[in-house]
Amino acid sequence: MLPTIPIDLRSDTVTRPSPDMRRAMADAVVGDDVFMEDPTLNALQRRAAEVFDREAALFVPSGSMGNLTCVLAQTRPGQEVICETNGHVYNYEMGALSAVGGVLPRVVDGENGLLSWEVIAKAIRPKVYYRPQTALICLENTVNMAGGTVLPTSRAKDICDRAHAQGIHVHLDGARVFNAATYLNERVADMTRPFDSVQFCLSKGLGAPVGSMIVGTRDFIEHCRSIRKMLGGGMRQAGVLAAAGLVALEHGPKRLQDDHDNAKVLANRLADIEGVTLDPQSVQTNIIIFSLKDSGVSSAELLQRLAERKVLAVPVDGERIRMVTHLDVTRQDVEAAADVVRSAMMR
């Protein structure tokens, strides 16, 4: 089989809807979702709630809106949200926490992007009336900018239990929580039960063109429905998107192991290349971050050379590059991509 051209490893968001998904979209029965009358969207929301063993779920146009909605629902302006230094909510959502929510992000360093209660506890504000109060902790699983690392379920539960004991809520940015579930061989419902709110993306490895879901209690989701409307996220015949989401939710998770296997193959081959620093053992899911430090080549320079050879990836910083496997790249593609990196490093 010939490689896909270009081989696009920039993100798992680049996946395009499959023929089956497009057919489901074309055939979707739809209605006005602001009136809550879209049968396909209602079915997706019921199904997501069921998969996560929750009372209710809500479809949102993006993961960013899902995270912001959950933050707004659980904080007041002037309160603090604890998040990790490399976290998506802090770095890649246009400062919406403070710009829209009026909350202070309190950023702390995790290990490989993963927080522990020990680290979080030091950042929690004393309950003194003239200090800002910690309202929410935001965790991420998998951790995108730490190379797709997985949060162990016992650690998540420990953080949630201790936070709840102090009246602090915990939100999970589970953009790739199904990748984490695949790695852990656990059910997402069991992994995410202790969280007050969860956001997950349909539009990444699961393969839908658009959309994320948030899940929680019925009251919480009704509150989020109002916030989503305030943010401009009330949609009308969104069943055409929900139809794709239903296919993604049913069939997407089963094939994520293929992406992880391809990431391993790619990581092993990249690690063999002179000038590339990468521990293939550290690659747990579908994201690889490798370094070019000491190679004399910057990430911008290598990305330019790769693009000329029809392999696409993104920079993390001046010396690190991220590659992501997904359903639109094959085993042959990742093997070819590794060969291209090898030749590009030589010039």
Q: What residue ranges bind ligand PLP (CB under 6 A)?
A: 62-64, 67, 88, 140, 144, 173, 175, 201, 203, 212
- Are 97 and 88 a contacting pair, CB within 8 Å? no
For ligand PLP, give the closer residue by CB, 175 or 213: 175
Instruction: Give CA angle at 331 (341, 147), nearest 5°.
Output: 60
For ligand PLP, give the closer residue by CB, 284 or 340: 284
For ligand PLP, give the closer residue by CB, 286 or 299: 286
Q: Which residues of 134-152 are buried (b: 16+ CB within 10 A; e: fewer)?
A: bbbbbbbbbbbbbbbbbbe
For ligand PLP, give the closer residue by CB, 83 or 270: 83
- Are 326 and 208 a contacting pair, CB within 8 Å? no
Place of tokens 């604890």: 82
CA distance 197 to 192: 9
- Least distance to ligand PLP, CB of residue 85, Å: 14
Tell me which residue has its CB nearest to ligand PLP: 63
Order of strands, sheet of 314-315, starting from the edge strand that comes earlier in the sequence: 287-291, 320-324, 314-315
Copy the structure tokens of residue 236: 């009308």
CA distance 278 to 202: 29
- Least distance to ligand PLP, CB of residue 316, Å: 13
Q: What DSSP character marks residue 143?
A: B
- Least distance to ligand PLP, CB of residue 336, Å: 25
- Least distance to ligand PLP, CB of residue 228, Å: 13
CA distance 6 to 9: 9
For ligand PLP, give the closer residue by CB, 103 or 145: 145
Instruction: Give CA angle at 219 (214, 220), nearest 5°.
Output: 35
What is the β-pairing status of strands 320-324 and 314-315?
A: antiparallel
Copy the structure tokens of residue 72: 């707004």
- Least distance to ligand PLP, CB of residue 173, Å: 5
- Least distance to ligand PLP, CB of residue 110, Å: 13
Q: What DSSP character marks residue 285?
A: S
Residue 175 three-state SS: coil
